[in-house]
Amino acid sequence: MKLVKLIANLGYGSRKDVTQLFRSGRITDAAGEVLYADDVVPYETIRIDDEPLDPPPGLVIMMNKPLGVTCSRKDPGRVVYDLLPPRFSVRSPALSSVGRLDRDTSGLLLFTDDGALLHRIISPRAQVTKVYEATLAQDLRSDEGALFASGSLMLESEKEPLAPAFLEVLGPRHARLGVTEGRYHQVRRMFAATGNHVETLRRLSVGALTLGELPPGAWRTLDADEVESIFAK
């Protein structure tokens, strides 16, 4: 791909803007040599104003989503995309969240511009386990684990029962829940089906990928091994 298109697709500006960046000598190689629009150079050597380019397409990011932001692009309130560099919102191919977390859910949220990867992660067939930690308004009844594991729990207005999920009880009103699907408000609706109410909800992991030390609101790119760990069984 021509450099102008490649750099424009990363969100640095229109092709006209990027052509202007070349003309003004702001695009160089790592040694500071000015590059021209038809030069052919390795991606990692390109600099704009001495800064390396943003990651190329095939980008995968994890964020520790804070409470109070939505996974929408259109919401008039604060959205997860506001926590990423503004350039990331105008990349092509577009960067999207991998599924959604509710405004009132925090924790591990993935983003990618790789549509095939996104579908591979969210497809129920891939059986990627998402683990959530929930605090509840009322004491657990003690039969929730068996009900969630049964594969026969029907949520209101759904046509198919939920796939088996595992529950680990951490305290009278505190549990971890592992699910392989991503139905609308799934975890909240599962506990609602047992007469309970989720007070706080945080996603801890997707496959074998965990947040580690990433603070709330922070994000970082994932390397290939980390991406593969999403599918580790």
Active site residues: 102
Residue with tokens 């009844």: 141
Told to check if 101 binds ligand URA by CB under 6 A, we report: yes
Told to check if 185 binds ligand URA by CB under 6 A, we report: yes
Q: What is the DSSP letter of 68?
A: T
Cβ nearer to ligand URA, comparing 26 with 176 = 176
Cβ nearer to ligand URA, comparing 99 with 145 = 99
Told to check if 65 binds ligand URA by CB under 6 A, we report: no
Taking CB under 6 A as the binding criterion, the range among 75-83, 114-122, 138-146, 185-193 that sits at the site for ligand URA is 185-193
Cβ nearer to ligand URA, comparing 91 with 188 = 188
Instruction: Write a three-state SS string for 144-187.
Output: HHHHHHCCCCCCCCCCCCCCCCEEEEEECCEEEEEECCCCCCHH
Nearest distance from C-beta of residue 185 to ligand URA, angstroms: 4
CA dihedral 203, 209, 210, 214 (to 10 degrees): -110
Told to check if 102 binds ligand URA by CB under 6 A, we report: yes
Sole binder of ligand URA in the list 9, 70, 97, 105 (CB under 6 A): 105
Nearest distance from C-beta of residue 201 to ligand URA, angstroms: 6
Told to check if 187 binds ligand URA by CB under 6 A, we report: yes
CA-CA-CA-CA torsion sign (56, 62, 66, 68): positive
Round to whole Å and give the CA distance between 162 and 180.
Answer: 9
In the three-class reduction of DSSP (H, G, I as helix; E, B as strand; rest coil), residue 190 is classed as helix
Nearest Cα to Cα of residue 99 among 222, 232, 224, 206: 206
Told to check if 10 binds ligand URA by CB under 6 A, we report: no
Cβ nearer to ligand URA, comparing 9 with 105 = 105
Nearest Cα to Cα of residue 138 among 186, 192, 184: 192
Told to check if 186 binds ligand URA by CB under 6 A, we report: yes
User: Using CB under 6 A as the criterion, which residues of the chain lie in contact with ligand URA when the complex forms?
Assistant: 101-102, 105, 185-188, 201
